[in-house]
Amino acid sequence: MEIEGAVCVVTGASSGIGAATARLLYGRGARVVLAARRAERLEALAVDLPGALAVTTDVTVAEDLERLVARVVDAYGKLDVLVNNAGQGLHVAIEEIDPADLRAVFELNVVAALVGMQTVLPVMRSQAAGSIVNVSSATSLRIFPGLGGYSATKAALNMISEVARLELAGSGVTVSVVYPSVTATEFHDRLRAGHVAEGARKIPPHPAELVGEAIAFAITTGEAHVLVGDPPRPIIARQGEGGQSFPTRQTPGS
Ligand SMILES: NC(=O)c1ccc[n+]([C@@H]2O[C@H](COP(=O)([O-])OP(=O)(O)OC[C@H]3O[C@@H](n4cnc5c(N)ncnc54)[C@H](OP(=O)(O)O)[C@@H]3O)[C@@H](O)[C@H]2O)c1
């Protein structure tokens, strides 16, 4: 998908990765639509990006997503790209996770992203073209103590994305997953619960713009899995991909 002239909806555009991605796509000639709950922040960003459309949206509310898509189609007559970026962390040990917190982050990181996809798909199918980029996390590619709840949401998002990609093969719509590592945003100050692990504090954070570059790369190439880096790196995210069988472990129990 070519970015220049594309109508790109970015959720979670009021800060961090979403705001940086909206700026980057705008700089490459996209018509950007900014979606998040904090209207004043979206309006401030829209002042910087003349012509950008700011639509106050709670992505966990299906009617908000329907209104968002209707506004976009009204304004531009099409919707080319959805960046499902809104998300929140839950950095608590498994023993201590409050189920209410886990439900809330699943609702935001997984269910809202799914409903976002379902809401844009009729438009993208009618265009026989579209790009959906789901913002996951590199934490879903490894096992990190303290991140079980959060990583589980992103692992679920990865699976939904992969299945959707296969289901949409031949439709003209691509589904990609982008995997940021620790990134300098408000994310770690706005966790649903818990705190940043000591180890993560020591990792030099990526600038949000680097994640924006990886998202732009996913849009233009349609790659399935993109690890954030300089440059962005297409990866094979899972063993067994492409119908291969899983290797059997030689030493059970370890
Ligand atoms: N920063 C990292 O280290 C890191 C690493 C890996 C993955 N990620 C992922 O990157 C994505 C972006 O996070 P970030 O780092 O940019 O954090 P951030 O600065 O905290 O941004 C999160 C965004 O999500 C929006 N959001 C939260 N709940 C929402 C809702 N119900 N409806 C609409 N928007 C909502 C927030 O906007 P409002 O509050 O205005 O609604 C905000 O714009 C997330 O999916 C996160 O899981 C981040």
* CATH (domain of 212): 3.40.50.720
Is the shortest distance between the CB of 2 and ligand 1 below 6 Å? no
In a domain? residue 249: no
In a domain? residue 250: no
How big is the chain by its Cα radius of gyration, in Å?
18
Give me the catalytic one of 26, 76, 150, 179. 150
Is the shortest distance between the CB of 187 and ligand 1 below 6 Å? yes
Question: Is residue 148 within 8 Å of 192, Cβ to Cβ?
Answer: no
**Burial class for 221, CB neighbours closer than 10 Å (0-12, 13-18, 19+):** middle
In a domain? residue 95: yes
In a domain? residue 253: no
Which amino acid is located at 77 in the chain? G
In a domain? residue 37: yes
Question: Is residue 214 within 8 Å of 232, Cβ to Cβ?
Answer: yes
The per-residue pLDDT for 143 is 95
In a domain? residue 1: no
Please state, in angstroms and rounded to a whole number, the distance separating the CA atoms of residues 136 and 117.
Answer: 15
190-244 pLDDT, tens digit per residue, is 999 999 987 788 899 999 999 999 999 999 999 999 999 999 999 998 655 555 5
| Tokens standing for residue 188 | 């770690």
Task: Please choose from 24, 185, 192, 201 the residue to mutate so as to test ligand 1's pocket, defined by most ligand atoms within 8 A of CB.
Answer: 185
83-137 pLDDT, tens digit per residue, is 999 999 999 999 999 999 999 999 999 999 999 999 999 999 999 999 999 999 9
What is residue 244's DSSP assignment? P
Is the shortest distance between the CB of 153 and ligand 1 below 6 Å? no
Task: Please choose from 56, 85, 225 the residue to mutate so as to test ligand 1's pocket, defined by most ligand atoms within 8 A of CB.
Answer: 85
Which ligand 1 atom is at minimum distance from the Cα of 150?
47
Ligand 1, atom 7: nearest CA belongs to which residue? 137
* Residue span of the structural domain in which 174 resides: 7-243
Question: Does 11 have pLDDT greater than 80?
Answer: yes
Q: Is 57 left (phi over 0), alpha (psi -120 to 50) or beta?
A: beta
* Total domains present in the chain: 1
Q: Which of 176, 3, 15, 187 is nearest to 90 (CA)?
A: 187
In sign, the C-alpha dihedral spanning 39, 9, 88, 179 is negative
The per-residue pLDDT for 87 is 98
Which amino acid is located at 121 in the chain? L
Is the shortest distance between the CB of 228 and ligand 1 below 6 Å? no
The per-residue pLDDT for 242 is 54
Cis peptide before 122 (omega within 30 of 0): no
Please state, in angstroms and rounded to a whole number, the distance separating the CA atoms of residues 18 and 11.
Answer: 6
| Tokens standing for residue 154 | 């992103």
In a domain? residue 42: yes
179 a catalytic residue? no
Please state, in angstroms and rounded to a whole number, the distance separating the CA atoms of residues 220 and 23.
Answer: 16
In a domain? residue 211: yes
35-47 pLDDT, tens digit per residue, is 999 999 999 999 9
